Amino acid sequence: MSNLLASLGVAAGALDAFTQVLQVTQNNVANASTPGYARQTQTLNALPFNATFGDTGGVKAGAIESSRDEYAETAVRQQNVLLGAASQNVSSLTSLQTIFDISGNTGIPCALNNLLQSFSAWGQSPTDPNARQLVIDRATDLAGAFNEAASSLGTVAQDAEQQIGTTVTEINQLVGQLQQYNTQIMGGDNNDAGLDAQVHSTLEQLSQYGDISATQQENGSWTVMLGQTQLLVGAQQYQISNDMEEPSNPPPTNANAPPLAVIRGADGTDITSTITTGQLGALLNFRNTVVPSYIGDAYQQGGLNIMAQQLADRVNGLLTAGNVSDGPPAQTGTALFSYDQTNATNVAQSLTVNSATTADQLAAIDPGPPEVSNGVPLALSALANPQSAADEIDGVSYTSYYGNMASNVGSLLTDATNEQQVQQSAVAQAQNLRQQSSGVDLDQEAMTLVEFQRAYDANSRLISVLDQVTEDAVNIISVTTG
Partner 1 sequence: MASGVIESLRRVHRELEQVCEMLLRPSPEVLNGCEQRLVRATAEMEASRPAWSEAARDWQAGEQARLVRRSLHHAQRLLENAARFHAGWRRRRAAMNGEYRADGSIPDLRCPARIFVEG
Contact residues: partner 1, CB under 8 A: 71-72, 75, 79, 418, 421-422, 425-426, 428-430, 432-433, 436-437, 442-443, 445-453, 455-456, 458-460, 462-463, 465-467, 469-474, 476-482
Task: Name the minimum Å distance from CB 460 to partner 1.
Answer: 7
Residue among 248 and 481 whose Cβ is closer to partner 1: 481
Contact 393, 306 (CB under 8 A): yes
| 60 versus 461: smaller Cβ distance to partner 1 | 461
Cα angle 62, 68, 74 (rounded to 5 degrees) comes to: 150
Minimum Å gap between C-beta 465 and partner 1 is 6
Q: How far is the CB of 281 from partner 1 (least distance, A)?
A: 19
CA distance 305 to 347: 5
274 versus 437: smaller Cβ distance to partner 1: 437
- Smallest gap from Cβ 285 to partner 1, in A, equals 21
Nearer to partner 1 among residue 63 and residue 235 (C-beta): 63
Give me the least distance between CB of 37 and partner 1, in Å please.
21
249 vs 481, which CB is nearer to partner 1? Answer: 481
Q: How far is the CB of 466 from partner 1 (least distance, A)?
A: 6
Nearest to partner 1 of 326, 445 (CB atom): 445
Between residues 21 and 433, which has the closer beta carbon with respect to partner 1? 433
Nearer CB in complex with partner 1: 103/480: 480
Using alpha carbons, list the distances in angstroms from residue 22 to 26, 44, 364, 376: 6, 12, 95, 93
Shortest separation between residue 258's beta carbon and partner 1, angstroms: 36
